[in-house]
Structures are given as C-alpha cells and as structure tokens.
Amino acid sequence: MFNKLTAMPADPILGLLTKYREDSRTQKVDLGVGVYKDESGHTPILSCVKKAEKYRLDTESTKVYIGPTGSADFNRLMSELAFGIENPVIIANRVRTVSTPGGTGALRVAADFIKRCNPNSVLWVSDPTWANHTGLFEAAGITVKTYPYYDYDTKSLKFDEMKAALSQVSSDDVVLLHACCHNPSGMDLNQQQWDDIIELTVEQGFTPLIDMAYQGFGDGVDEDAYGVRKMAAKVSNMILCSSCSKNFGLYRERIGACSIIGKNAAASDIAFSVLLYVVRCIYSMPPAHGAAIVETILGSAELKQEWLDELTVMRNRINGNRAMLVNKLKEIGVERNFDFITHQKGMFSFLGITSAQVAQLQSEYSVYMVDSSRISIAGIGTGNVDYLAKSIAKVL
Ligand code: LMR
C-alpha cells in the first residue's frame, strides 16, 4: 500500500532545524523556528518552571487518566489569563476550555469543531499567515481563503483592504485573527484597528477564531490580550486557541488550550459537549505534565510574579535585538531602510529580501531563515549580529 505514496517536501519551518544542525561550519546563525533563545543561543527552562516541576514531582500522587477536558484548574487559569477575570464572558460563565497538546492541538480541535458546527464554513486567514494554518485546517476538510493583511512594499498593514474583504465574509464563516505578535510579519493591529475589526465582526456575524501563541511577547500579558478580551465581550460566539510553548518555554511539553464562547451558559454547554466529542475522536485526552506546570505557576502569586518577570526579560531581549540589528545594518553602511523591524512586534519580521538572497545567505554564510525571509528575532545576539549584518549586506 505504501508504494503509492510520493514523498512530501520538508516542512518550510521545521525543516530548517535539521539543515541548521547538519551544517558543520562554525560560524552559523539560526533565525528559523520561532523559539526564544538567550544571548548564548540557548533555549533555557524558566526558573519558575523548574520550581513548579519540582513541586509537582514531590506532590503528584497518580497518573490515572485525566479525561478529555484535561485539568480543570489549568483550564480556568488559562481562561482568566486570556480573557481577564472581570470579563463579562467569565462572569456570565460562557467560556468553556479544554487543555490541548500545544497550540497546534488547540487549532486542530477548533478545526474539527468548526466542521461539526457547519461543514461548509470557510476559514479566512490573513495573507500571509503561519505556514501551518492552511494545511492544518485543510486536513480537517475546511476550505481556507485569505484576506489581505501585510503590505510587503510599505512593510505595513493593508488595513483598508482587510476591512473591505472581511465586510464580504458570510455569517457562516470563520475568520482567524492573530491576537498579537503576528506570525510571520510581526505587524499587529493597534487598539483602534482591533475596535474596527470587532465592530465589523459583530455587523457581519461571522465567528472569530483568535490564535494567541505569543501572549506576553508583544507589549505585555494584558496588553497583548486587548483584542481577545474586547472581542469576547462583544460577540455571541468565539473560539480562542492559545499556546504555552513560547511564553512558558514549554515547547516540547505540548501544552495549549482551546476555549469556546457560546451566546449563554446553556449554549456553551451544548457546544462544549461537541468539543469533548471532537477531542475524544482525535487523541482522547491531552497530556497532563505541561498543564500541571502552568497551573502551579498561575495558581501561586509568587511563581506567577516570577513568570511575569522572566517573560519581561524575554520580551525585552527580543525588542532589544530588533534595534540592535537595525543599528548594526546602518553602522556598516547598508543604505536600505530596515527601521520597520523596530516597529513590529514579537518573534518575527520579514527581512524583505528575495528567496534567492535567502538561499544565498544559507549556502554561503550559514544564515538560516524561512524562504519568505521571515527571521526569528530571538536568534540574534551580540555575538553574531556583526556577522549577520555583514552577511545581509553582502547579499543585498
Ligand atoms: C514557528 O512559526 O516557527 C513556530 O510556531 C514553530 C512551528 O511549529 O512552526
């Protein structure tokens, strides 16, 4: 049976990991996969995570099945973190959450859930969006279409075009929005733009699906949830997929959450029964370890503060890297204007070079980035910025 298969190309993002690791040159720069790295290029385990893990190790008493919802404490704490404890949807008991295997697991649960709500729903994603969004939703049998978002020429949002496109979207459809730190462009909606999109969502009646993979990496945990919180308070139905990979540094633990909001508590209960059925059909129940770490941190005032402080360090380093690269390019005499990088948010920006230049950076200088010229800003450091800027200058 396997003889009929043809090989799939390597994943455009994850494939870079292997290539980078196999590159035996000593001077190399990894700006590929979106993971946080410290100044030495290492992805550390947060100190609050180490403490929470030790606590769980000492106190955990069973490994019995956790059930399709996952941990109730984790789900509650994640909902409060995303929506804010005083959000009318929390007060009205309209949010239902399941723990999922990572943010990707949350998206796949959302995809199958949408398919059960309406098999003909179209999912609208930003152009561009995270490389895995389209494949993931199509794998669930959903038609994916795009709305204009990033202007590669002006390095800014195509906001008017985005609004014009969304004002044609039917109430049967779902629109995927990035909560913050847009992946891959780093170009976020400002608060006024969120307000406009929320108004349009209410007018059109489509369902918003917000993907929040980077809460805390833009401006702060609360600031980054502005759109999520306001949207939730205004619409009758909404889906939120969140990830603990980046902000808790729990990449390989695979922990995220999928929340749905119904028009009232009774409607949410019905929708939740469908969500649990979907979970049971895909992976039965989520892994528990990552959720246990996160709920230990969020449930302790002391550990939560430590987490917020560690997150601030990560966010500030990334923002510092943005300025450092742009200043270095100026310092070595590159004439092209890269200032836009300092105005963008989160882990990524497009460098704005051609795919031939991306390939040249890889083959001649061992500088790795996604073909679209998306760079993972955390991979920059004082030790490689000079080499990186000079390599970019050479291919320009
Ligand atoms: C990325 O975009 O680099 C990350 O979200 C990792 C991934 O799974 O693609």
Q: Mind listing the pLDDT tens digit for each residue in 179-196?
A: 999 999 999 999 999 999
Angle between helix axes 301-331 and 385-395 (nearest 10 degrees) is 50
- pLDDT tens-digit readout, 306-349: 999 999 999 999 999 999 999 999 999 999 999 999 999 999 99
The single residue of 37, 155, 246, 328 carrying the catalytic annotation is 246
Q: Atom of ligand 1 at shortest distance to CA of 184?
A: 2
Q: How far is the CA of 256 from the centre of ligand 1 (A)?
A: 14
Where in the sequence is the domain holding 157, given as residue range(s)?
65-299
How far apart CA 10 and CA 151 sit, in angstroms, is 27
Q: How far is the CA of 205 from the centre of ligand 1 (A)?
A: 30
Neighbours of 148 (CB within 10 A): 17
Task: Give me the pLDDT at residue 132, please.
Answer: 96
Q: How far is the CA of 140 from the centre of ligand 1 (A)?
A: 19
CA angle 170, 165, 121 (to 5 degrees): 30
> For residue 246, which of 151, 169, 180 has the smallest C-alpha distance?
180
284 and 323 belong to one structural domain: no
Confidence of residue 361 (pLDDT cuts 50, 70, 90): very high
> Cβ contacts of residue 315 below 8 Å, gap of 6+?
216, 217, 218, 220
350 and 247 belong to one structural domain: no
162 and 249 belong to one structural domain: yes
Structural domain includes residue 3: no
Q: Dihedrals φ, ψ of 141, to 5°?
A: 85, 20
In CATH, what number is assigned to the domain containing residue 237?
Answer: 3.40.640.10
Structural domain includes residue 59: no
Ligand 1: residue of 20, 108, 132, 214 to mutate (most ligand atoms within 8 A of CB) is 132
Q: How far is the CA of 329 from the centre of ligand 1 (A)?
A: 26
Q: How far is the CA of 33 from the centre of ligand 1 (A)?
A: 5
Structural domain includes residue 51: no
> For residue 280, which of 103, 160, 112, 136 has the smallest C-alpha distance?
112
284 and 227 belong to one structural domain: yes
Q: How far is the CA of 310 from the centre of ligand 1 (A)?
A: 21
Q: Atom of ligand 1 at shortest distance to CA of 11?
A: 9
Which residue's alpha carbon is at the smallest distance from atom 9 of ligand 1? 13
Task: Give me the pLDDT at residue 223, please.
Answer: 98
Both structure tokens of 119: 């098999």
The single residue of 112, 124, 130, 345 carrying the catalytic annotation is 130
In CATH, what number is assigned to the domain containing residue 331?
Answer: 3.90.1150.10
> For residue 361, which of 336, 390, 338 has the smallest C-alpha distance?
390
The single residue of 112, 173, 211, 224 carrying the catalytic annotation is 211
Task: Give me the pLDDT at residue 72, please.
Answer: 98
Q: Partners of 151 in the beta sheet?
A: 156
Domain count, the chain: 2
How far apart CA 171 and CA 300 sit, in angstroms, is 41
360 and 229 belong to one structural domain: no
Task: Give me the pLDDT at residue 67, please.
Answer: 96
Structural domain includes residue 58: no
Structural domain includes residue 52: no
Please tell me whether residue 260 adopts helix, strand or coil conformation.
strand
Structural domain includes residue 215: yes
Query: What is the average pLDDT value for the chain, to the nearest integer?
Result: 97
Task: Give me the pLDDT at residue 135, please.
Answer: 96
Both structure tokens of 289: 């370890």
177 and 237 belong to one structural domain: yes
Confidence of residue 255 (pLDDT cuts 50, 70, 90): very high
- Among 299, 334, 366, the domain-final residue is 299
143 and 257 belong to one structural domain: yes
Confidence of residue 169 (pLDDT cuts 50, 70, 90): very high
- Among 299, 315, 330, the domain-final residue is 299
DSSP for residue 294: H
Query: Percent of the chain scored above 90 by pLDDT?
Result: 99
Query: Are the C-beta atoms of 83 and 90 separated by less than 8 Å?
Result: yes
163 and 284 belong to one structural domain: yes
Structural domain includes residue 53: no
- Among 259, 277, 299, the domain-final residue is 299
260 and 316 belong to one structural domain: no
Q: How far is the CA of 170 from the centre of ligand 1 (A)?
A: 30
Which residue's alpha carbon is at the smallest distance from atom 4 of ligand 1? 34
Task: Give me the pLDDT at residue 382, please.
Answer: 96
Please tell me whether residue 152 adopts helix, strand or coil conformation.
coil
Task: Give me the pLDDT at residue 14, please.
Answer: 92
253 and 360 belong to one structural domain: no
Whether 211 is catalytic: yes
Task: Give me the pLDDT at residue 352, please.
Answer: 97
Q: Which residues line ligand 1 (CB under 6 A)?
A: 13, 33-34, 130, 132, 183
Q: How far is CA 225 from CA 87, 109, 137, 211, 298, in A?
A: 12, 21, 24, 11, 16
Ligand 1: residue of 13, 16, 36, 215 to mutate (most ligand atoms within 8 A of CB) is 13
Ligand 1: residue of 37, 130, 246 to mutate (most ligand atoms within 8 A of CB) is 130
329 and 257 belong to one structural domain: no
- pLDDT tens-digit readout, 261-307: 999 999 999 999 999 999 999 999 999 999 999 999 999 999 999 99
Task: Give me the pLDDT at residue 230, please.
Answer: 98
Task: Give me the pLDDT at residue 75, please.
Answer: 98
Q: Atom of ligand 1 at shortest distance to CA of 130?
A: 2
Q: Atom of ligand 1 at shortest distance to CA of 376?
A: 3
- pLDDT tens-digit readout, 200-217: 999 999 999 999 999 999
Confidence of residue 150 (pLDDT cuts 50, 70, 90): very high
Please list the alpha-helical segments (H only) found in 332-354: 340-343
Confidence of residue 26 (pLDDT cuts 50, 70, 90): very high
101 and 228 belong to one structural domain: yes
Which residue's alpha carbon is at the smallest distance from atom 5 of ligand 1? 34
Structural domain includes residue 373: yes
Q: Atom of ligand 1 at shortest distance to CA of 132?
A: 9
- pLDDT tens-digit readout, 88-113: 999 999 999 999 999 999 999 999 99
How far apart CA 268 and CA 270 sit, in angstroms, is 5
